[in-house]
Amino acid sequence: MNDLTDSAAQNSATLLVVDDNPATRDIPVIAVTSCLAAHPEQETLAAGCAGFIAKPCHYAELVPAVAAVLRGP
């Protein structure tokens, strides 16, 4: 899970580090954000995140979202 910040550069750098490392490239990244205007869901998923959760999030939505990403396509 990656808590997105207001900095697009920082968020992109985090995804690049994960993707560039052979040991971590297959780990799915779930974006969590309260900045919905800065991080629209479709753009975030298109950038390489496997899931998207808007804050505040509740257990009832968090667990199924994580489970869906872990199950895969």
Give the chain's domains with CATH numbers.
2-71 (3.40.50.2300)
Which alpha helices (H) appear in 2-58, and where do they start and end?
8-20, 41-46
Mean pLDDT of 48-68: 88
| Pairwise pLDDT comparison (4 vs 21), residue with the higher score | 21
pLDDT attached to residue 7 = 56
pLDDT attached to residue 20 = 84
pLDDT digits (tens, 9 = 90+) for 12-33: 677 777 888 899 888 888 888 8
30 forms bridges with which residues in the sheet? 51
pLDDT digits (tens, 9 = 90+) for 30-57: 888 887 766 678 888 888 888 888 888 8
Helices (H) and strands (E) in the chain, counts: 3, 3
65 forms bridges with which residues in the sheet? none
Tokens of 66: 């994580």
